[in-house]
Amino acid sequence: MKIRNGLSKFQETIQPSMQPVYSELENGQSPETLFITCSDSRISPNLITQTDPGEIFVIRNAGNIVPKPGTGELAVEGTIEYAVQALKVKHIVVCGHAKCGAVGGLLDLGGLDALPAVKEWVKKSEAVLEKVADCDEASKGPEAIKANVMLQLDHLMEYDYVKAAVDKGDLELHGIVYNFGSGEVDYLTDGEF
């Protein structure tokens, strides 16, 4: 019911006021940024980045994971390929977030036995475990979230066309962590975007 009411409200009040934007978007899209973030319902990419429709191209999945190329995760691989090679985005932002359940599951893989698909998915970030092995319990979760973002940036650089675009200076990679409780953002990499 809430979704249907929201759609009605959008059609009645927001669509008319944004008609010029949507009319222009009928001709195509040219976002400057690919934004990769978690599917967590507490993250709203356009809201937290204050972007309009057509400004960011988005991938969402549990844990904002970028599988290594060639692993058969074609939904993610195809979207990255399209963003970089067809849309020619200038930036890729990997956005992790506080209290990430996927990273929490990674830290306790045994707790995911009842969710075998989730368990296999988050294991794509197993390298994070080595990076936080020496952390105390209080800092392990937050540090794992940051390490997970950085790992995804490493995975992106394994895509030949991403590396080539970065090397040419046509593409920049960025990592951030969003805290939905405070609204604060930790910038893990340099650069403007």
Query: For 70-103, what is each residue's pLDDT tens digit?
Result: 999 999 999 999 999 999 999 999 999 999 999 9
Q: What is the pTM of this model?
A: 0.96
CATH 3.40.1050.10 domain residues, the chain = 31-187
Residue 1: the pLDDT is 84
Q: Is 153 left (phi over 0), alpha (psi -120 to 50) or beta?
A: alpha
pLDDT for 74: 96
Contact 149, 96 (CB under 8 A): yes
Residue 126 pLDDT level (bands cut at 50, 70, 90): very high
What is the Cα–Cα distance from 11 to 87, expressed in whole angstroms?
28
Cα(93)–Cα(192) distance, integer angstroms: 11
91, 106, 10: which is closest to 56 by C-alpha? 91
pLDDT confidence tier of residue 158, bands split at 50, 70 and 90: very high
The percentage of residues in the chain with a pLDDT greater than 70, rounded to a whole number, is 100
CATH architecture observed for domain 31-187: 3-Layer(aba) Sandwich (3.40)
The pLDDT score that the predictor gives to residue 52 is: 95
Distance CA(129)–CA(140), nearest Å, equals 9
Whether 65 and 152 have beta carbons less than 8 Å apart is answered as yes
| Cα–Cα distances in angstroms (integers) from residue 32 to residues 36, 60, 92, 172, in the given order | 13, 17, 9, 11
3-state secondary structure of 5: helix
